[in-house]
Amino acid sequence: MEVTMDPLFLAWSYFRRRKFQQCSDICSKILEDSPYDQAAWSLKTRALTEMVYIDEVEVDQEGIAEMMLDESSIAQVARPGTSLRLPGTSHGGGPTAAVRPMTQSGRPITGFVRPSTQSGRPGTMEQAIKTPRTASTARPVTSASGRYVRLGTTLFEYIFHHENDVKNALDLAAQATEHAQFKDWWWKVQLGKCYYRLGLYREAEKQFRSALNHQEVVDTYLYLAKVYQRLDQPITALNLFKQGLDHFPGEVTLLTGIARIHEEMNNITSATEYYKDVLKQDNTHVEAIACIGSNHFYTDQPEIALRFYRRLLQMGVYNCQLYNNLGLCCFYAQQYDMTLSSFERALALVANDEEQADVWYNIGHVAVGIGDLTLAYQCFKLALAFNNDHAEAYNNLAVLELRKGRIEQIGDLQSSYTAAQRSEDAFPEHVDTQQLLKQLRQHFAVL
């Protein structure tokens, strides 16, 4: 006797295994026979939503519209240490902390790529147009709850995430909140999410605050902190995270939020301490391990940084960036036998031209360190072949051109000056390039 599985149960099985397309197809067949089957409708909307779901807790990048039409800023020049857009000077120790590379917005390069740290706030219209937007999330989805069993909540998630129709999602959330007599914290959070998407940050703040008055939930603290970060109020966000830790001691996401803000404000020492607190709660937290390792590298402790990156390898992290960092750590820790093999692995794992350019640039940096200037020149040229806007490669090429012959040779100076100018065009705030240009202009004045 042949036994057939119930179609709805099979669809649910596909959903649990994250095979969302198969789940949606089976639900569609069920709805052809039973158009009013609410369970099938609910499961199908959930499957379609999960296909495009992005964790709204993560702070996203500011686009050119937010940059140029920012109506929420009060002071044009914020006090030091109170703004994410004008981070203060580094508080980290170590002799090499001052040479930690920065983004074009002035933030330090972090050890872990997040949506808010991909490229920072674009400085010009041209940079904003060239800046890629990301839809990736740096940590697991957090907002799933038991309310998904209700068709109203799944319908909202479908409209909000899959259809990206914020206006209708806002109308649905407003009616649901009114129907619940303004006592349902979940619908207030959804209202806040809609207001945030529409750029109405103060209205979003009111909804999240009201939701916290009804129910203390970790995600609500994260959403509200996201609002304050968009309003450029990092101190308020820090206080909110600490308030959340009073109700949820040791919560990893709240500790990570505090560490991220300190890192974006260039307070690396405090950020590292909070990342260490994260590891006390979760010793497999990839972001914390990567950021602590990065900090040890830039404070002239490559041997310690190497331990953290090896830990990531043991955890199964296997990508171009990790092997690139391993190669640099091995070189500065004088483990030369592992340096080139790490860079070879990095080149084998590159996913795009920008990664390829960064790896070749670092190989060129190693070549400079061992005195092989010919290899270094070729590596920097390869870096520019893959990324024509690589400011550091232009800068180092200018230095190599300057070293080629006697200072009095006009040809070498002109080649060096041309490369330095291209570096300045790619990254106007690059300090090393500005110093090199100043030096070259002095040589031209003497000649």
Distance CA 196, CA 444 (A): 54
pLDDT recorded at residue 24:
93
Provide the residue ranges of all domains of the chain, joining segments of one domain with +: 7-51, 147-282, 329-446
Q: Please tell me the predicted confidence (pLDDT) of residue 80.
A: 67
- pLDDT at residue 126, rounded to an integer: 46
For residue 133, give the DSSP letter: P
| Biggest CA-to-CA distance, the chain | 98
Write the CB contacts of 78 (distance below 8 Å, at least 6 apart in sequence). Answer: 85, 86, 232
User: Do 191 and 174 meet the contact criterion of CB atoms below 8 Å apart?
Assistant: yes
**What's the fold here for domain 329-446?**
1.25.40
Q: What are phi and psi of 102, to 5 degrees?
A: -120, 155
Q: Report whether pLDDT(424) > 80.
A: no
pLDDT tens for each residue of 296-309 = 999 999 999 999 99
Residue 160 per-residue DSSP state: I
- The tally of CA atoms less than 13 A away on the side-chain side of residue 2 is 1
Q: How far is CA 318 from CA 271, 310, 411, in A?
A: 25, 11, 45
DSSP helix/strand/coil, 6: coil
Query: What confidence category does residue 77 fall into, taking pLDDT thresholds of 50, 70 and 90?
Result: low
Specify whether the CB–CB gap between 330 and 305 falls below 8 A.
no
What pLDDT does residue 136 have? 33
Phi, psi at residue 108, to the nearest 5°? -70, 145
Residue 139 burial (CB < 10 Å; 0-12/13-18/19+)?
middle
Backbone angles phi, psi at 155, to 5 degrees: -65, -40
- Do the beta carbons of residue 45 and residue 38 sit within 8 Å? no
* Greater model confidence, 333 or 399: 333
Q: Please give the pLDDT value at position 134.
A: 32
Same topology for domains 147-282 and 329-446, yes or no?
A: yes
Q: What local confidence, expressed as pLDDT, does residue 200 receive?
A: 94
What is the band of 14 on the pLDDT scale with cuts at 50, 70, 90? Answer: very high
Q: Does domain 147-282 have CATH number 2.40.50.100?
A: no
pTM of the model: 0.75
Lowest mean pLDDT segment, chosen from 151-160, 386-395, 424-433: 424-433
Dihedral angle, C-alpha 301, 305, 307, 310, nearest 10 °: -150
- Residues 6 or more apart from 219 whose CB is under 8 A from it? 57, 142, 143, 189
Is pLDDT of 249 > 90? yes
80-105 per-position pLDDT tens digit: 677 776 655 554 444 344 467 766 55
Q: What is the pLDDT of residue 332?
A: 93
User: Does the pLDDT of residue 421 top 50, yes or no?
Assistant: yes
Closest-CA residue to 6 (of 37, 48, 46, 36): 37
Q: How confident is the model at residue 242 (pLDDT cuts 50, 70, 90)?
A: very high
- Find out whether 88 and 173 touch, Cβ atoms under 8 Å: no
Q: CB neighbours (10 Å) of residue 337?
A: 7
Tokens matching residue 393: 């490669």
pLDDT at 142: 38
At 102 the three-state DSSP class reads strand
Tens-place pLDDT, residues 318-349: 999 999 999 999 999 999 889 999 999 999 99
Question: What tokens appear for 305 in the block?
Answer: 């940084």
What residue has token string 């103060």? 202
The β-bridge partners of 108 are 102
Which one is predicted more confidently, 122 or 378?
378
Rg (CA), the chain: 26
Residues, the chain? 447
